[in-house]
């Protein structure tokens, strides 16, 4: 079965072809980062309009690169939510119309399910059940994953997401949008021990997170004394270290608490090298295995949607015509709500 995946939930237009026999045939991505950088963040209306411009040409070039025709497509999966409503509608409309014209099934997917299952595209791949740490721009969650569609929330952020904290802190340090990767790069030359930043909720006894206080602590530092470049690097490194420490500690508790021996890390912040190094070290010591998606599939992409769609459609998940989008949508609702 050849599945076309379409991702348009935010500022990346992603398309991919996944074949249930041959695996991922190809994926293509157009990032709107340069367009939004001028405004210091994503402008939803501009994002929607750009998806309209990019999606069909991108799909055509994907098919060409993979030496496939439109009529080879057996099913279509698109991101139904959560995300920006207008941006989601572009992917949903194209997916539904194409599916109607080709007379193939169409499935609306949860964006985080795409992230969550993307480590299964790597080799070696984890096996169910596992604990997943989802760290993106909009979410920070620990989930127990027992199978496709069987997700149980163990803990989540009570305020900012990890990626959001990276982005907001980067802004405070005068770094360009998107802040996460820029802050991580600056942190490489900094001293993570110079500034004592809080480790929010480290000892809270549950698996929840809080990151907004950390951003405020950085704001206090920046306001206190206009930092020079060295101090900025040290702040970046100290901030990154604090976030990484909390993410690692809670992930370890989740794996131990569930009595499992595999941790899967997904979402944009999963690309962070300091987090990967700290997690791998801790995992080795604690005797569990840690899995990541391939590096280019950490941030938003069409491949994870094509892949999750293939798993869903293979499992006989209901797929209908017509379309809806869900700008807000909790992942553990998937247990009770059909995805069609």
Which residues contribute to the site for Zn ion (CB under 5 A)?
136, 300
169, interface contact from ligand KG4, Zn ion, none, CB < 5-8 Å by kind: none
Based on CB atoms, which residue is closest to ligand KG4, 2 or 237? 237
Which residues within the stretch 34-63 sit at the binding site for ligand KG4 (CB under 6 A)? none
Based on CB atoms, which residue is closest to Zn ion, 172 or 331? 331
CA dist list (Å): 2 to 21, 121, 135, 218: 9, 16, 29, 48
- For 45, list phi and psi in degrees, rounded to 5: -65, -40
Can you name the residues that pair with 141 across neighbouring β-strands?
A: 134, 156
DSSP state of 299: S
- In the complex, the smallest distance separating the C-beta of residue 314 from ligand KG4, rounded to whole angstroms, is 24
Based on CB atoms, which residue is closest to ligand KG4, 113 or 300? 300
Based on CB atoms, which residue is closest to ligand KG4, 180 or 200? 180
CA dist list (Å): 40 to 77, 175, 183, 186, 217: 31, 10, 15, 18, 22
Which residues within the stretch 206-235 sit at the binding site for ligand KG4 (CB under 6 A)? none
List the beta strands (DSSP E) in 209-317.
Answer: 262-266, 289-291
- Tokens 């980067």 belong to residue: 170
50, interface contact from Zn ion, ligand KG4, none, CB < 5-8 Å by kind: none
Site for ligand KG4 (CB under 6 A): which residue of 166, 195, 291, 307? 166
121, interface contact from Zn ion, ligand KG4, none, CB < 5-8 Å by kind: none
Rounded Cα gap, residues 56 and 312, in angstroms: 24
Site for ligand KG4 (CB under 6 A): which residue of 179, 192, 293, 309? 179
- In the complex, the smallest distance separating the C-beta of residue 100 from ligand KG4, rounded to whole angstroms, is 28
Strand pairing category for 262-266 and 289-291: parallel
Please, are residues 26 and 16 in contact by the beta-carbon 8 Å criterion?
Answer: yes
Binding flag, residue 300, ligand KG4 (CB under 6 A): yes
Binding flag, residue 184, ligand KG4 (CB under 6 A): yes
Binding flag, residue 181, ligand KG4 (CB under 6 A): yes
- Tokens 């398309």 belong to residue: 15
- With b for 16 or more beta-carbon neighbours within 10 A and e for fewer, the 176-205 pattern comes to ebbbbbbbbebbeebebeebebeebbeeee
- In the complex, the smallest distance separating the C-beta of residue 112 from ligand KG4, rounded to whole angstroms, is 8
309, interface contact from ligand KG4, Zn ion, none, CB < 5-8 Å by kind: none
- In the complex, the smallest distance separating the C-beta of residue 218 from ligand KG4, rounded to whole angstroms, is 15
| Nearest C-alpha neighbor of 6 from the set 315, 255, 307, 222 | 307
Site for ligand KG4 (CB under 6 A): which residue of 5, 163, 190, 192? 163
Based on CB atoms, which residue is closest to ligand KG4, 89 or 243? 243
Which residues within the stretch 253-282 sit at the binding site for ligand KG4 (CB under 6 A)? 267-269, 271-272
166, interface contact from ligand KG4, Zn ion, none, CB < 5-8 Å by kind: ligand KG4
Based on CB atoms, which residue is closest to ligand KG4, 75 or 248? 248
178, interface contact from ligand KG4, Zn ion, none, CB < 5-8 Å by kind: ligand KG4
Please list, in sequence order, all residues whose beta carbon lies within 8 angstroms of the beta carbon of residue 101, skipping any fewer than 6 positions away.
none
CA dist list (Å): 206 to 51, 249, 250, 286: 40, 11, 8, 19
Strand pairing category for 106-110 and 75-81: parallel
179, interface contact from ligand KG4, Zn ion, none, CB < 5-8 Å by kind: ligand KG4
- Residues in touch with ligand KG4 (CB under 6 A): 10, 136-138, 163, 166-167, 178-181, 184, 267-269, 271-272, 299-300
């Amino acid at each position: 079965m050849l599945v076309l995946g379409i991702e348009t939930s935010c500022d990346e237009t992603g398309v991919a072809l996944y074949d249930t026999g041959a695996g991922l045939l190809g994926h293509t991505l157009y990032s709107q980062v340069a367009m939004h950088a001028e405004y210091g963040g994503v402008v939803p209306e501009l994002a929607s309009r750009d998806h309209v411009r990019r999606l069909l040409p991108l799909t055509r070039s994907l098919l060409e690169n993979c030496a496939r025709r439109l009529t080879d497509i057996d099913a279509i999966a698109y991101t139904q939510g959560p995300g920006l409503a207008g941006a989601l509608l572009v992917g949903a409309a194209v997916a539904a119309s194409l599916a109607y014209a080709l007379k193939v099934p169409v499935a609306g997917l949860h964006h985080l399910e795409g992230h969550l299952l993307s480590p299964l595209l790597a080799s070696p791949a984890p096996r169910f059940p596992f604990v997943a740490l989802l760290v993106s721009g909009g979410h920070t969650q620990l989930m127990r994953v027992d199978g496709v569609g069987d997700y149980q929330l163990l803990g989540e952020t009570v305020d900012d997401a990890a990626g959001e904290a990276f982005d907001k802190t980067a802004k405070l340090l005068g770094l360009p949008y998107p802040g996460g990767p820029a802050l991580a790069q600056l942190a490489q030359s900094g001293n993570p021990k110079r500034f004592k930043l809080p480790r929010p909720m480290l000892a809270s006894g549950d698996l929840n997170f809080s990151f907004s206080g950390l951003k405020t602590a950085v704001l206090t530092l920046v306001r206190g004394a206009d930092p020079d470049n060295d101090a900025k690097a040290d702040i970046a490194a100290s901030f990154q270290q604090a976030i990484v420490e909390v993410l690692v500690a809670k992930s370890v508790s989740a794996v131990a608490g569930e009595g499992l021996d595999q941790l899967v890390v997904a979402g944009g912040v999963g690309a962070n090298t300091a987090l990967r190094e700290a997690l791998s070290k801790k995992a080795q010591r604690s005797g569990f295995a840690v899995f990541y998606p391939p590096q280019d599939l950490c941030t938003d992409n069409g491949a994870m949607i094509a892949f999750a769609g293939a798993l869903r459609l293979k499992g006989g998940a209901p797929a209908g015509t017509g379309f809806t989008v869900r700008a807000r949508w909790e992942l553990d609702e998937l247990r009770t709500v059909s995805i069609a």
